[in-house]
Chain A
Amino acid sequence: MKKVFQRPKSLKDMPFHYCPGCTHGIAHRLVAEVIDELDIFEKTIAVAPVGCSVFCYEYFDCDAYQASHGRAPAVATGIKRVLSDRVVFTYQGDGDLAAIGTGEIVHAAARGENFTVIFINNAVYAMTGGQMAPTSLLGQKTTTTPFGRDHKLNGSPVRMSEMLSVLDGTAYAARVSLHNPANVTRARKAIKKAFEVQVAGLGFSMVEVLSACPTNWGLPPLKALKWLEDNMLVYYPLGEFKRPAEVI
C-alpha cells in the first residue's frame, strides 16, 4: 500500500508539549517538511528562542542552539559567519522577536544575514501567562491589559514583516496564517521560498506565521482559529512584502 502521509524525517518521533489547538505543531511540521523536501537536513542548524517554542530544539532532529531571549538572530549570525555553507534558521515568537529582540532582528536583516527566520505571531506572550505582546491587537484583553489594549497607554501593534521589508538586506519577507488548510498550504510555500532564498545566498529571509493560542486567548481551538481569521487578518495582511528579483 502506498504511504501518502507520514512524519517528516526532520522531526523527532516524540509528542509535542504544546497545548491543544496551538499551531506551533503545524508550523514545526511545515518547516520540517521543507527541510526534507529541499534535502538539506544534514546541513541545517536550528536556533531556538525563549518562549513556548524553546523546546523546538528537541523536536527538530537537526543540530540546534538555544539562544537567550530575543538574541536568536545574533546567535544565528555567529553560526552562519563561521559555517557559511550550512542552512541556519531561527524560530522565534512575537515577544522574542518583536519586543526584547527588536534590535537583533532589525540589524540581522540590515546586514543581509543569510539565514531564515520563522516568526510565530500569536499576539500574546504565551509561556509566561498571556501578557500583552508587541503584536497584541488594540482592544485585545490579555493578563496585563485586562481592559483591552489601549492605544494611549500601550501604543499600537507592530507589523514586523512590513518593517523589515523596507531594508535592503531583506531578500524575502512574507506573512502567512495557519487558520485553515488552504492557508497552511500557502504557509508551506512561503517557508520553502524563504529557505530557497537562503540556499541561493540571497540574504535575509523571514516568514511571519499568524498562529493561534487558545489557552491564552481563552477560546476553544476552533473558535481561536476563527478569532485569528476575523481579527488578526484585518490588522496583519497576508502576502509577500519582499521577494528577490530573481524568480524562484
Chain B
Amino acid sequence: MAKILMKGNEAIGEGAVRAGCRYFFGYPITPQSELPHYLAKRMPEVGGLYLQAESEVASINMVFGAAGAGARVMTSSSGPGISLMQEGISYLAGAELPCVIVNMIRGGPGLGNIAPAQSDYFQATKGGGHGDYRLIVLAPASVQEIIDLMQDAFDLSDKYRNPVMLMGDGVLGQMMEPVEIGAERKAELPEKPWAATGRLKGKEKKLINSLYIVPENCEAHNLKLDKKYSGIKEAEQRWEEYRTEGAEMVLVAFGTSARICKSVVDICREEGLPVGLLRPITLWPFPEKGINGLIESVKSFLTVEMNMGQMIEDVKLSANGKKPVFFYGRAGGMIPVARDIYNEVKKILNGGAA
C-alpha cells in the first residue's frame, strides 16, 4: 500500500478511528488542535461522535460515562488540560474503565507556553491524580508509530480495563511524515460483559464504581489493582535499542528527544565512539528489563529529556546504583540540539572534562 503524508495530530485521530474508537470528548487547547479538527470531520463519516465539552473536567467524565457504557472512547489535551482531568483519571482507574487519553505536552509549569516539552512525565507515570493507581503510558517517536500505537493503546486499555495515555509533544503533533495506514478493516472489539448498559432481558445489575466505603474492601480492591499492575509490568515493557552493541555509553530518551539522540549516536559511531540509544516506548511500565539487559556491558547512561530530569529517576532505579546515570535536558519548550548532546557525551567519556 502506498504511503501517504500525514501530520502527527491527524495520525492520532486516524489511528483511533482505525482502532474502532467512535467517541471523542474534548476541550480546545494548543498544541493538539489538529486532532479535534480532524475528528470533528472524521467521526461523523464513520458513524461516530465528536463532542466538544465545556471543560477538560467535563470531557474526562464524559469519557467515564461512555467507557462504562462499553464504548471505545478517547479524549486529548495538553498539560494544563490534563492537570484538570486528574480526578477523573483516578476515578477511571479506580472503576477499571478502559479509555485512551492523549497528552501532547507543552512547556510548563502553569500556563508555560505552547512549545514542545516532556515535563509531564512525572504526572503521567507517577500518579497525577489521587490514590494508588497506574496508567499505561505510551510514547511514540514518529508519525508511523503514532498510528501503530493508537491501535495498541485501545487494545491494552481493553485487555487490562485500565486507562492508557499516549504522550507526545508539539513536534510530533505538528510534523508531517509518510505513513502506511493499511487498508481499513473492521476493528475487532472485545466483549465487555461488565459494562453497565441497562438490565435488558433481566440481565444482572452492573455498577460502574470506585467507592469502597469499608476499608477492608478498599484494601482488597487496591491489592487486586496492584496484582493487575504487576502483570502489566511483567508483560508490557517496550523499548527500542539503537546501536547498543558494544556500547559503553547508552543514551536513554523517549519521543522527540530520542529522535535527536539517534543522530547523536550516529555522529558518535562515525567517530568510533561506542555510544548507543535505549528508547522507552512504554514510559509506564518503564522498560527496566531493557536497562538490566545492558547494565553489565555499559559503563554509563546519559538520560536526555525535554525537562529538568524526570525519567532519570526511573533510569536510576533500574540501574540500581550499578552504573552512573547522567542527565542532559532542556526545559520550558526548548529542544535539545544534537551538538550539545554530543558535547555532553564527550565530556562524560572524557571523565568530566569538556
Q: Are A79 and B211 also in contact (CB < 8 A) when A68-B87, A104-B54 are?
A: no
Chain B residue numbers with a CB within 8 Å of A57 are: 207, 209
Stretch of B141-149, B197-205, B244-252, B319-327 contacting A (4+ beta carbons < 8 Å): B197-205
A74-B65 contact, Cβ under 8 Å, with A54-B211, A57-B207, A65-B208:
yes
Contact across chains for A86 and B197 when beta carbons are under 8 A apart: yes
Contact in complex: A64, B208 (CB < 8 Å): yes
Contact with B along A79-105 (1 / 0, CB 8 A): 111110010000000000000000110
**How far is B198's CA from A217's CA once the two chains are assembled, in angstroms?**
37
Pick the interface stretch among B68-76, B106-114, B328-336.
B68-76
- CB of A45 within 8 Å of the partner chain: yes
Q: Which of A24-32, A36-44, A236-244 contacts the other chain?
A: A36-44
Query: In whole angstroms, how far apart are the Cα atoms of A77 and B60 in the complex?
Result: 11
- Chain A nearest CB, measured from B39 CB (Å): 14
Residue B273 lies at the interface, judged by CB distance under 8 Å to chain A: no
CB of A196 within 8 Å of the partner chain: no
Contacts of B62 in A (CB 8 A): 74-75, 77-78, 81
Q: When chains A and B are docked, how far (Å) is the Cα of A159 from the Cα of B82? A: 32
CB of B198 within 8 A of CB of A104, answer no
A192 within 8 A of B: no
Q: Which residues of A contact B209 (CB under 8 A)?
A: 57, 64-66
Residue tally, chain B, CB below 8 Å to A: 40
Distance in angstroms from A70 CB to nearest chain B CB is 9
Number of A-B residue pairs with CB-CB distance less than 8 Å in the complex they form:
126
Judged by DSSP, the binding face of B is mixed
Distance from A142 Cβ to chain B, minimum over Cβ atoms (Å): 25
- What is the CA–CA distance of A68 and B129 in the complex, to the nearest angstrom? 13
Q: Would you call A78 and B64 a contact (CB within 8 A)?
A: yes
Contacts A65-B65, A65-B196, A86-B198 given; does A103 touch B207 at CB 8 Å:
no
Q: How many residues of A contact B (CB 8 A)?
A: 32
Residue in contact with B66 in the complex, picked from A82, A106, A107, CB distance below 8 Å: A82
User: When the two chains form the complex, which single residue of B95, B206, B210 contacts A63, counting CB atoms closer than 8 Å?
Assistant: B206
Q: Is A229 an interface residue (CB 8 A)?
A: no
* A179 within 8 Å of B (CB atoms): no
* A74-B210 CB under 8 A given contacts A65-B196, A68-B61: no
Contact B197 A78 (CB under 8 A): no
Contacts of B205 in A (CB 8 A): 61-64
Chosen A-B contacts, 5 in total, with CB atoms closer than 8 Å, are: A65-B68, A71-B64, A78-B68, A83-B69, A86-B197
| Closest 5 A/B residue pairs (Cβ) | A78-B65, A74-B61, A78-B66, A107-B54, A71-B61
A positions within 8 Å CB-CB of B: 41-45, 47, 54, 57, 61-68, 71, 74-83, 86, 103-104, 106-107
Contacts A74-B58, A83-B69, A86-B197 given; 5 further ones with Cβ under 8 A? A45-B197, A64-B196, A77-B58, A78-B73, A82-B65
